[in-house]
Amino acid sequence: MTDRPDDKQTTVASNIKYNNNNNINNTIPIKVPLKVAPPRDKSKDFVQDYYMMSTALCYKAAKGVGVYIYSVLKWRKGMDKKYPGRENAYYPIPNVQTHDWGIISRQRKNEAIQKMLAAGLIAVKKEKGKSTKVRLLIK
């Protein structure tokens, strides 16, 4: 008995006998229609409701913590868009944020809020025993 297959058996790995183009790969050609994307309109390249110049103003007033406060407020404001009457809402800023911004303590946050308030970028609502609530005055 030999290890070679006879003429009646076919092997998947090397069936040269039944391949029309003598290709040993045994690939099945699949024709998939390619969808070509239309050319990009560069005038629409932006991140919705996040403005570079407003970010620069916040950075100038309070450095990186100011940009963090701007980002948090823009995110909260964007989440409340579907609720009418929330355009001028005040939002608390978390005391400690350790995700992408590093550690921002409550002291740095409060210093940045005071600097941004002096620059006229935000409005502040303070209540005794509660967290300071802030809203943006810029876009």
> Residue 123 — pLDDT band, cuts 50, 70, 90?
very high
- In CATH, what is the architecture of 43-136? Orthogonal Bundle (1.10)
The helix/strand/coil state of 125 is strand
The C-alpha atoms of residue 23 and residue 17 are separated, in whole angstroms, by 10
3-state SS assignment for residue 136: strand
pLDDT in tens, 30-79: 676 777 777 877 766 555 777 889 999 999 999 999 999 998 898 888 88
Tell me which range, 42-46, 97-101, 128-132, is most confidently predicted by mean pLDDT.
128-132
